[in-house]
Every structure is written in structure tokens, then in C-alpha cells.
Amino acid sequence: MSGAKDVERVYSAMEEAAGLLNVPVARDKIWPVLTAYQDALADAVIVFSMAGGRRSTELDFSISVPTDHGDPFTTALERGLTEKENHPVDNLLAELRDGFPLGMYAIDGMVTTGFKKAYASFPTNEPQPLTALLDLPSMPESARANAELFARYGLDKVQMVSVDYPKRQVNLYFSDLNADHLTPEEVKATASEMGLVEPTDMALDFATGSFAVYPTLGYDSDVVDRITYAVISVDPTLAPTTSEPEKTQITTYANSAPYAYAGENRTLVYGFTLTSKEEYYKLGSYYQITDLQRTLVKAFEALD
Ligand code: GPP
Ligand code: MG
């Protein structure tokens, strides 16, 4: 078992990625997280994600966990990485596990605080209809309240669900997108109907190449908290903004983040997020990938 060596290796890479943003890694918070999932690290998809502007004081990490390792929220509870919130968020991952075919799980954390999210992903190319997810007792009411709106804008097939425990928020990662719903007019209408800010022209142009779109929903209100449009590419110049410092922060990160597949180009996922108040930008750089990311990059680069 190379688990302990992988913990060291991934921790070092995380420090290197965080160092690009001058963000310190809290070793006492992160080491137990990497150790809890250490047997998954060697073959995991691992992403280190930054956000621009005032959000650049944090680095997120995402690590995939195979389904035969068991659901990673249960692991996090057993390991003392988190505690139950006494809230429906505690149950959503288990309901997905028990009710749907899953292709993998993942966990997510912040380098300054540790564990924060778990993901359940449906099998590749087997997204589930949103309507099937709405019956889960712990799905936020806001998902039901917005389902018809989502469907009208082509957001009806869910590839992955994330549960953010501290924030009590759920992301629905829609895939299999129809280009007709990614035109500037449609994206503008989507944001407007959700009560979110109007996207800038650069963002609208960027959105046409999205491979995933994900709204974020809470439990306390029916409004969509935010929506993110994501583009996968190996091009380090795609940040959908000219404003500084975001542009330089994102481009620098895109050219320097550590990655473990030497000889290939770094796989990058860029996003812009709309809230009711602002538009902001993020970039995830894949430290480890699988053939799925290689296939996605090829498919989406062929669209240009
Ligand atoms: C993006 O969500 C999702 C990922 C970076 C995870 C993909 C990788 C896996 C190994 C599953 P986000 O971080 O943009 O959403 P939020 O803003 O809600 O945290
Ligand atoms: Mg994140």
C-alpha cells in the first residue's frame, strides 16, 4: 500500500498550489483528511481550485473516491473530520447512495479548514433526470421550486450532486447540455429569471462552450443562490475576464499549478459564477486526471 507516501506527495502538491496564492495550508486540518482517504489517492482525480479577487485567500481541493470505499461522508464522520449538522444535509448523500447507481464519490475541502463537501456522481454518460432526484426527502425544497425553470433552460440531466455541509448547500451539476440553451440570449434569460446579475459579454461568450452548468441551492429559501458555467480545456488563457487582479491571478495559476501527468498539457476547468450581486471567476487545475478528463477535453476542444 502506497497510501502514506501518497499523503505526503499530495500534501506537497497542495502546498505548492496554495503557495501560488500565498495561502498557508493548515497541516493539522489537512493531514487527517488525506490520511482518511489515503488508499484512494494513487488513482484519484485530484483538483486544486482557486477563485479570483477577494476569494483568492483560499484554495479548495477535490479528491475522487471509488464507490467500493463506501460513502465518504460516513468516512468523514467516523474519522472525526466533521460532525452531523442535525439537518437534512446529513442524509442527502446516503439517500443518493441508496437510491441511484453511482459511478464515484468525491470529497472537497479548503486548505485552511479541511473537509467541507461530499459528491455523489452518477456513472459516466448516465446522468439522472432531475425529476427522479426531487423525490429524495433531503433534497432541498428549492430544487423542487426551480425544477421547471431549470428544465426550460435545458438543465434537466444531473451528472453529479455536491453537499456542502458547513454552508448547507447543494450543487446540481447538469451535463449533456444543449447548445441551444448556451447562447448569450438564453444564458442572459436564465440568469435573469433566477434573479442573478446579468453576465458580462465575456462571460456570455465563454458560456457557449460550457461542459457543465451548476446551480447552488440552499434549504432556507427557494431562490437560486448562484449558478456556475464551467469550461474544460488545456488552454491557460481562457479566464473570462479582463479585470485585474483576477485576470493575472487566474492566468498565472493556469500556467504554474502542479500536475502529476508530465508530458501532457495541464487539464483546467474555468468557471464564472453569478450571484444576485456579482459575477466572479474560478479555476480548477487537475493535479491528477483519468481518461475521462482526456476525453472531455478532446470533445470540447473539437467544438471550437
Ligand atoms: C466545482 O464546484 C467542482 C469540482 C471542482 C469538483 C470536481 C472534481 C471531482 C474530483 C469530483 P465548485 O467548487 O465550483 O462549487 P462551490 O463553489 O459550490 O464550492
Ligand atoms: Mg469549490
Rounded-to-integer distance, Cα 281 and Cα 54, Å = 11
Contact status, residue 140 vs residue 88, Cβ threshold 8 Å: yes
Q: Which residue has the higher pLDDT, 63 or 125?
A: 63
Q: What SS3 state is found at 89?
A: helix
Q: Tell me: the pLDDT tens digits for 255-278?
A: 999 999 999 999 999 999 999 999
Which residue's alpha carbon is at the smallest distance from atom 11 of ligand 1?
106
- Among 249, 250, 273, residue whose Cα is nearest residue 169: 273
Are 114 and 36 contacting, i.e. CB atoms less than 8 angstroms apart? no
Which DSSP string do the residues of 98-150 spell out, in sequence order? HHS--SEEEEEEETTTEEEEEEEEPPTT-PEEHHHHTTSTTS-HHHHHHHHHH
Is residue 18 a contact partner of residue 59, using CB atoms and an 8 Å limit? yes
What is the reported pLDDT for 303?
Answer: 75
Residue 93 to residue 76: CA distance in whole angstroms = 12
Ligand 1: residues with CB < 6 A are 45, 47, 49, 60, 62, 64, 106, 119, 164, 171, 216, 228, 271, 282, 284
Per-residue confidence at 2, pLDDT binned at 50, 70, 90?
confident
Closest-CA residue to 130 (of 155, 164, 99): 155
Mutate to test the pocket of ligand 1, among 45, 62, 174, 226 (most ligand atoms within 8 A of CB): 62
pLDDT at 10 over 80: yes
Q: What angle do CA 297, 260, 301 make, to 5 degrees?
A: 10
67-98 pLDDT, tens per residue? 999 999 999 999 999 999 899 999 999 999 99
In angstroms, the CA 101 to CA 94 distance is: 12
- Separation of alpha carbons 10 and 219, rounded Å: 34
Q: Report CA(151)–ligand 2 centroid distance (Å).
A: 24
The whole-angstrom distance between residue 105's C-alpha and the CA centroid of its chain comes to 12
- Tell me what the pLDDT averaged over the chain comes to: 97
The two beta strands, 60-65 and 104-110, are antiparallel
Q: What is the pLDDT of residue 304?
A: 63
CA dihedral 218, 224, 225, 229 (to 10 degrees): 120
Query: How far does residue 207's CA lie from ligand 1's centre (Å)?
Result: 17
State the Cα–Cα distance between residues 164 and 117, nearest whole angstrom: 4
| In the chain, domain spans | 3-301
Mean predicted confidence (pLDDT) in 237-242: 96
